[in-house]
C-alpha cells in the first residue's frame, strides 16, 4: 500500500467515525427530561467546539505567540465569521420568509459547520502525513477520530423527538459533516495552506455561533407547568456542563 493510499484510508476512517454516534442518536428517549438533558449536552459540545476551533486557528493568526496578530489572517478570519453569520441571518430573515429556521434546517447548518471544521482537520492531517511526521500524524488521527464521534450528536440534536429523525436523513447529514475530512486530507497532502485553515475554521465558527442561538432559545424556554421551569433549567445547566466536559475529555485523549 502506498503512502498516499494509506492517507486516504485513514482519512476515510476519521471522516466516517461520525457514524459511530448513530446508536446513541437513534435511541428513542420519550421523557421530556431526558430530551432536555440530551439537547443541552449537544449545546455544551458545540460550545467546546467553538473553543477548540479557535485554539487551532489562533496560533496561525497570532504567529508571534503574543497579542500581536498577523494583519492579513486576522482580517480574513473576521470577515469570514461575519460573512457566514450575516448570510445565515439574512437567509432566515429575508422578506419572503415567514418562519424561523426549522429543526431540520438547524441540523443541516450544524452539519455544514462541522464539515468546515473537519475540512481543516483533514488539511492538517494531510500536511503532517506528506511531511513524514508519523508521530504527529498518529496523534492527529486519534484525536480527530474520537472527536468526530462526539460531533455526530450536535448535528441531530435539533431533530430529537421529531418525525424527521430518519436514518437516511441522519446519514445524509453525517456525510455532509464527515466527507470534508477526506477531502481535506487529500488536499492537505498535496497543498498546505494556512490561509485556507483560517477561512474554513472561521466559517465553522460563524455557523456554530448562529445555530447556538435557536438551540439555546429552545433549551431555556419556560416549561409547562411553571413549576417545572426550575427543574428544566437545572437539567440545561447540567447538560451543557456534561457536553462541554465530554468534548474536552475526548479531545484530551
* Nearest in space to 39 (alpha carbons), one of 160, 213, 197, 209: 160
pLDDT in tens, 216-248: 888 888 776 766 777 888 888 999 999 999 888
pTM here is 0.82
* CA 46 distance to own-chain centroid: 6
Residue 46 burial by Cβ neighbours in a 10 Å radius (0-12, 13-18, 19+) = buried
Mean pLDDT of the chain, nearest integer: 83
Break the chain into its structural domains and give their ranges.
3-252
Mean pLDDT score, 194-201: 90
Residue 201 burial by Cβ neighbours in a 10 Å radius (0-12, 13-18, 19+) = buried
What's the grid cell of residue 97? 420568509
pLDDT in tens, 23-46: 777 766 556 777 788 888 889 999
* 206 pLDDT above the threshold of 70: yes
What's the grid cell of residue 220? 431555556
Amino acid at each position: 500500500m502506498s503512502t498516499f493510499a494509506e492517507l486516504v484510508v485513514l482519512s476515510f476512517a476519521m471522516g466516517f467515525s461520525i457514524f459511530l454516534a448513530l446508536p446513541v442518536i437513534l435511541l428513542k428517549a420519550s421523557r421530556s427530561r431526558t430530551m432536555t438533558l440530551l439537547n443541552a449536552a449537544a449545546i455544551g459540545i458545540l460550545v467546546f467546539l467553538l473553543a477548540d476551533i479557535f485554539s487551532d486557528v489562533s496560533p496561525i493568526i497570532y504567529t508571534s505567540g503574543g497579542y500581536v496578530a498577523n494583519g492579513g489572517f486576522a482580517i480574513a478570519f473576521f470577515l469570514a465569521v461575519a460573512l457566514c453569520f450575516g448570510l445565515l441571518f439574512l437567509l432566515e430573515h429575508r422578506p419572503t420568509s415567514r418562519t424561523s429556521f426549522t429543526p431540520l434546517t438547524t441540523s443541516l447548518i450544524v452539519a455544514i459547520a462541522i464539515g468546515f471544521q473537519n475540512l481543516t482537520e483533514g488539511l492538517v492531517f494531510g500536511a503532517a502525513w506528506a511531511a513524514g511526521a508519523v508521530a504527529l500524524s498518529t496523534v492527529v488521527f486519534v484525536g480527530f477520530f474520537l472527536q468526530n464521534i462526539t460531533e455526530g450528536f450536535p448535528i441531530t440534536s435539533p431533530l430529537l423527538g421529531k418525525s424527521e429523525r430518519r436514518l437516511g436523513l441522519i446519514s445524509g447529514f453525517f456525510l455532509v459533516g464527515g466527507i470534508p475530512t477526506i477531502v481535506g486530507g487529500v488536499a492537505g497532502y498535496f497543498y498546505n495552506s494556512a490561509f485556507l485553515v483560517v477561512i474554513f475554521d472561521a466559517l465553522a465558527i460563524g455557523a456554530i455561533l448562529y445555530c447556538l442561538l435557536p438551540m439555546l432559545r429552545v433549551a431555556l424556554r419556560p416549561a409547562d407547568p411553571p413549576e417545572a421551569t426550575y427543574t428544566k433549567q437545572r437539567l440545561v445547566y447540567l447538560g451543557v456542563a456534561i457536553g462541554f466536559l465530554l468534548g474536552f475529555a475526548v479531545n484530551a485523549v
